[in-house]
Amino acid sequence: MRKKEPNIDKRKYTLMIVPHRGKKVYRFQMPIRFVKACAATVGAIAIVTMAGLFHYHYTINQAKAELDELQKLRSVNVAQAGQLNQLAKNTAILQEEMSKLNQLDSEVRRLLNKEESTGTSRSGVVRPGAPHSGEGGPVVRPNADELNNLVKDLQVSAKVRGESLTKLRENLKERNARIAATPSIWPSEGVITSRFGWRWGGSDWHPGIDVAADSGTPIVATADGVVVASGWNGGYGRQVIVDHGYGITTSYAHNSENVVSVGQKVKKGQLVAYMGSSGFSTGPHVHYEVKVNGTAVNPAGFM
């Protein structure tokens, strides 16, 4: 029994090239298997080409997406750089405010006439006498939001501290002004020859203190104030009256010469007159009076 031979397609394609003008005609025969093989090859090439084109477009899209992401990251970096610049400006402003607070603190301390102890820090924690070198802890890098929150907290704290110190400064100025306006020194050198109160057997009320010395002895203001009277005043003779504010006035009488005029501001210890015996007087002295809200009080409490 004969074997069945495989069915092989033996068909052929004939390709004819017919030139013009009676030239020789060329014939080419191509087995159909060759044509099929060429078609398969072309198909494979087309498939590979399509796959390449697809991969190319995919790669282009992927690169575009990465480029967009990179641009977004650059935008974020630019925004963060702007935040850091603003943070730097805020920090500089805060440092300036803290510098002002330090100056204010120094001014307050000068007003208090008190130097800061070298053993105590501004936070009130006592510094140890012996040096130590302990330090450590994890290194944490705060982000921009954390730094911004820190700056805001410091700004609030600085504002509160500034308001507190400003109020304290005003209170201290008021206190120092009151102290400066309160008589606290003798009006002149000399000896007390007559005191405040009844004298000469209870027949005469003496509303001040007499301090006697040589004629021409300087008489000074016993506190800061403004001259409200300077001239002759009957039995007081030549008299100077100084208003110190807070309801306090002082009077210097029987002077040989007044050296200040009405409206003039004077400081504690400033010359206002020279001792004499003008008016109702038995000899050179200064009749010194202190009044509080218009009522004479004992000057001894202010000397």
Q: Give DSSP secondary structure letters for 89-130.
A: HHHHHHHHHHHHHHHHHHHHHHHHT-PPPTTB-TTSPBPPSS
- pLDDT value at 232 more than 50: yes
228, 243 contact by CB (below 8 A): yes
State the DSSP code for 276.
Answer: B
Q: What is the pLDDT of residue 122?
A: 38
d(CA 49, CA 51): 5
Q: Which residue has the higher pLDDT, 238 or 61?
A: 238
Distances (CA, A) of 106 to 91, 126, 166, 177, 245: 22, 20, 12, 19, 28
Which pLDDT score, from 0 to 100, does residue 133 have? 58
Question: Chain-centre distance of CA 128, in angstroms?
Answer: 29
Average pLDDT over residues 253-266: 97
Q: What is the pTM of this model?
A: 0.54
Through-space distance between the first and last CA atoms of the chain, rounded to whole angstroms: 157
- pLDDT higher at 1 or 119: 1
Type and span of the H or E element at 24:
none
Q: Is the pLDDT of residue 9 over 60?
A: yes
In this prediction, residue 163 carries a pLDDT of 84
Instruction: Return the pLDDT at 241.
Output: 98
pLDDT band at 90 (very low <50, low <70, confident <90, very high): confident
pLDDT of residue 235: 93
pLDDT at 130 over 50: no
Q: Tell me the range of 79-88, 204-213, 228-237 where mean pLDDT is highest.
A: 228-237
For residues 285 and 154, the model is more confident at 285
In order of their start, the domains of the chain are 10-113+146-180 (no CATH), 191-302 (2.70.70.10)
pLDDT class of 223 with cuts at 50, 70, 90: very high
For residue 196, the model assigns a pLDDT of 87
**Mean per-residue pLDDT of the chain:** 82
Rounded Cα distance between 24 and 248, Å, is 145
pLDDT value of residue 132? 55
In this predicted structure, the answer to whether residue 216 has a pLDDT above a threshold of 90 is yes
Q: Residue 14: pLDDT band by 50, 70, 90 thresholds?
A: confident
Q: Which residues contact 295 (CB under 8 A, 6 or more apart)?
A: none
Q: How confident is the model at residue 117 (pLDDT cuts 50, 70, 90)?
A: very low
Which pLDDT band, with edges at 50, 70 and 90, does 8 fall under? Answer: low
